[in-house]
Amino acid sequence: MKRFVYINDDSCRYSYCDNRISNTKYTLWNFLPKNLWEQFRRFMNQYFLLIACLQLWSRITPVSPATTWGPLIIIFIVSASKEAWDDYNRYLSDKKANERKIWLVKNGIHRQIKAQEIHVGDVVWLHENDEIPCDLVLIGTSDPQGICYVETAALDGETDLKTRIIPPISANLSVEQLGKVKGVVECPNPDNDIRRFDANMRLFLPIIDNEKCPLTINNTLLQSCYLRYTEWACGVAVYTGNETKSGMSRGAAEPKLTAADAIIDKLTIAIFMFQIVVVLVLGYFGNAWKYTEGLKQWYLMYPVEGEAPWYDFSIIPLRFELLCSIMIPISIKVTLDLAKGVYAKFIDWDEQMFDWETNTPAHSANTAISEDLGQVEYILSDKTGTLTENKMILKRCCISDTSYGNDNGDQLNDVRLVNAISSNDPDVIKFLLVMALCNTVVPIKSNDDTVSYKAQSQDEEALVNAAANLNMMLISKDSSTAEICFNGSKFRYELLDILEFTSDRKRMSVVVKEGQTGKILLLSKGADEALLPRACPGQQIQRYLEAAEMYSQLGLRTLCLGWRDLKESEYKEWSKNFQEASCSLDNREFKIAEVCHSLERDLHILGVTAIEDRLQDGVPETIKLLRNAGINVWMLTGDKQNTAIQIGLLCNLITSEPNSQLLSISGKTEEDILRSLERALLIMKNTSETKDLAFVLDGWALEIILKHSKESFTRLAMLSKTGICCRMTPLQKAQLVAILKSAGYLTLAIGDGGNDVRMIQEANIGVGISGREGLQAARAADYSIGKFKFLKRLILIHGRYSYNRTAFISQYSFYKSLLICFIQIMFAFLSGLSGTSLFNSISLMAYNVFYTSLPVMTIIFDKDISETTVMQYPQILLHSQAGRLLNPATFCGWFGRSLYHALVVFFITISAYSDEKSEMQELSMVALSGCIWLQAFVVTMDTNSFTYPQILLIWGNFVAFYMINLILSAIPSLQLYTIMFRLCSQPSYWISMALTVAVGMGPVVAFRYFKNLYQPSAINILKQIEQSNGSIQTSGNLESARAKLTNLLTGSRKIRDSNYHPLLSDSAESAR
């Protein structure tokens, strides 16, 4: 579909939406129904709403409806308030943007309007540092050459300035004509592709001949960008409001389900099914008791037979359903959301993850998945800018069969190269010329006439800087000309065409015309496999192949440079085809690539450049630590295979030790590649676990494998601890992540550039590095950090602690709900299975909302072992990777504990207060007190580190329980009147509490003691090592404890079972 934008035509300006931006989710009128609808889409909320509605039926409810309606309304209010606050902030942001003042030009008259009043076809006039209000086609600038500079960081995260040029059709328009221009822009319907704009433009008479002119993204100014270093610019609005490319890119990211969330959902379903069984069984026996015993009791007052025949089938089971509904904790989601929000803040506040070099803190953009960091199994990392500094320096080069670069690897100081330049060696001069001209670099002159360069690619910046240091300096450049200064003399070149770099072509070229001679030259640079096959027939390229191989083995990035003369007739014919391809609105990119291929042939290869990109500080140590933690690390890069292998050796990704082996998956044909894949798979299957195996493959091999043998490669990926994937496109990076996810592994992808965004978004966890390539990866990621070395702390410290805390909070939430529910069930056997509640409504509501919710939040600050110990023994991460703390087995332990504690509380309470003198409310309060005492000790025992907030929340809440109930006992209108006063004055009450704690916690303490003594876990041993200061009595001595710890940790991977993957897919591929 196409859009026709008529410039300065009032009759068509209302055909499309205005420029009003709206990012709000709600309106004043639809907030309540829409928010309620969204909240009730969740199963748990639907369940509790059903329970709350049933409690309104007075005939069946054993407690006041407030016990469910109260907590439910509080939860809804908290969630709705958060949504309303977020949406209000979005409204204020939209209002500020919509009411910003903008200059519009109409019939030559400049007038100021609000940004929201812009319509498609209007001509917008911008001044330096203005924010661009909508998507514009540039038609004029203050620069005589028709260029302007824009900062696109707010759109794509890239911090370097971009050059934008006016289309040739409007190059000769005066300022007066720009205000009166008429024409039409033929463009696609709105889309979110910020790197592509395939359109055409015609200007109407009398201004210019009715000629079609192709438009690209370089002729546009996109919304949210800023005009820089340009006095003014004007453009035609083509997309406005939420239809701009920026607006179409907005939208809430798909929520990610963590492994812990998946387990909690499954446990909730299991508890629900258990609850249904309990309700049916108790309902059946309740009806049976009614007929055998209940009808004989005159005081029970059952309905008369025949008046309510449905009573037997519904009333008693429904009463038990309401009584048992507390089995599923109503507050678990709010509690976990609050805890996860705090986890995210811990990451934001971590000073040890602050990058002082770039003044960049760590940031958590996704507050819901912190615990997944502690279960990461595969890390897929970009190389350039992620493992390396992305500070490119030209270190070596090979020109005309001669390699330059001294022992220090600095070609700038090589006397032979300096002499070759002084003697005007034609190949060397041409080599430097290609370095200086074949790029998209923007030279910027300062006030003192020094020249600096702005480049989208760090490689290009390194080449241009190296050429300048070798006296071939690019001093100025605009859309049509470039000026070179060589040895004090200036040379002017006309820029005829730019054949832009693409990941498919892997090269770029420029067509230039020498100002003095009029000769037309094609200058090209690109990857060796993309350029060397296009060498002119007869040229010997073996030396360049050997040079590229040698440089890549040194870990250097290589590029080949070439050129050829173009006849004017050849260029004119090609230019015509290029113009036609550029004007095509259908499949333009493919057609342009085909035309470029036809010109980039018979090249005279000039040489090879070798650029160094040093490793970041701490990368080798970080990768070693992560691998020791049981995490498999893969490197995905666009570099040559040998370069990638060398970097892999330098950063501890692979080693040269005897027990290591690197399996190459390659070949000259499809059959060779598939055979090498099967051979590598066979070797990995038959190799012992002690051998460190890795594989290496390139993008072409991966393309063939995914087409013909994806299942074999998936099995290989599951067996591989290390993978080096080179010559990868952005799509292939994302495909590799998808393969590991489909096999059921929890993946983390980390990168720093726009080409890593697809991989980052595909992974379970995306981490972006705020690097020299900009912020695009960081903005697309769940977490952003300043350096790769901070990844170890993000995973081992924040991820592991978050997982441990979430495991406890979720299972404790079920425990405290099951505890009170089991007591209710036991009481049912003393109350004729009638569904009567032991606890009053106030106690039940306070139990859910106050008494048990605050103590559990102390775990947010808990650390089972110190950060230093975690870093010293990173293998401990295997426990969280395998889901050892949150799985059906551990939940059964909590289930059993809740049942046992319920038995203890119930029988001690009944034994002490079952005589005729005791009131029902006394019995209820004693049982409730027993629950509160037990839970205080449970949380205390499971807390590993104590801080003042923890002590205050646990025991302060314990004291608050008595304070609140003493106050309630002083109110005559309440059922609790005088109850707590009487109990506190009775020795039997305090004896009952002491006995409850002793009987309830005694076996738990004893079990833990003997287990730690005779069968300690790795965490127990680490705690002993921390506490012993070199002397461990229970294990004999420190060395034996450490030896036992080593055996436990090294054996962890061998005994992984079904609990190892608490989340992931239930597909057949996930089975190992």
Catalytic residue IDs: 382
Handedness of CA 8, 13, 17, 22 (dihedral sign): positive
DSSP run (H or E) holding 1049: helix 1038-1052
What are the tokens at 49?
């709403």
Q: SS3 of 764, please?
A: coil
Containing 195, the helix (H) or strand (E) segment is: none
Are 560 and 605 a contacting pair, CB within 8 Å?
yes
Residue with tokens 């002083």: 970
For residue 1043, what are its two tokens? 């030896």
Distances (CA, A) of 443 to 149, 237, 475, 491: 11, 29, 6, 16
Distance CA 801, CA 831 (A): 45
- The span from the CA of 18 to the CA of 318, in Å, is 56
Distance, first Cα to last Cα, the chain: 47
Place of tokens 């089971």: 317
**Contact (Cβ atoms closer than 8 angstroms) between residue 178 and residue 166:** no
- CA of residue 783 relative to chain centroid, distance: 6
Question: Helices 710-719 and 730-742, interaxial angle, to 10°?
Answer: 70
User: 764 and 750 in contact (C-beta within 8 Å)?
Assistant: no
Q: How far, in Å, CA of 758 to CA of 520, rounded?
A: 40
Label residue 642 left, alpha or beta by phi (over 0 means left) and psi (-120 to 50 means alpha): alpha
Say if residue 117 is exposed, middle or buried (CB neighbours under 10 Å; 0-12, 13-18, 19+). middle
Half-sphere exposure of 461 (CA within 13 A, CB side): 19
- Output DSSP code: residue 961: H
Alpha-carbon distance of 170 to 149, in angstroms, equals 18
- Name residue, tokens 């104590």: 946
Tokens 């995260």, located at residue: 157
- Which three-class secondary structure string do you get for 606-671? EEEEEEECCECCCHHHHHHHHHHCCCEEEEECCCCHHHHHHHHHHCCCCCCCCCEEEEEECCCCHH
- Distant-in-sequence, close-in-space partners of 609: CB < 8 Å, separation ≥ 6: 394, 396, 397, 435, 463, 558, 559, 560, 561
Q: CA–CA separation, 837 vs 10, rounded Å?
A: 74
> Tokens 């287990």 correspond to what residue?
1011
Cβ atoms 823, 769 nearer than 8 A: no
Cβ burial of 518 (10 Å; 0-12, 13-18, 19+) is: exposed
With tokens 């590799």, the residue in question is 736
Sign of CA dihedral 319, 321, 327, 328: negative
Choose among 850, 862, 845: nearest CA to 958. Answer: 850
Peptide linkage before 855 cis (omega within 30 of 0): no
What are the strands, taking DSSP E only, across 62-193? Answer: 101-106, 109-114, 123-127, 135-141, 147-151, 161-165, 183-188
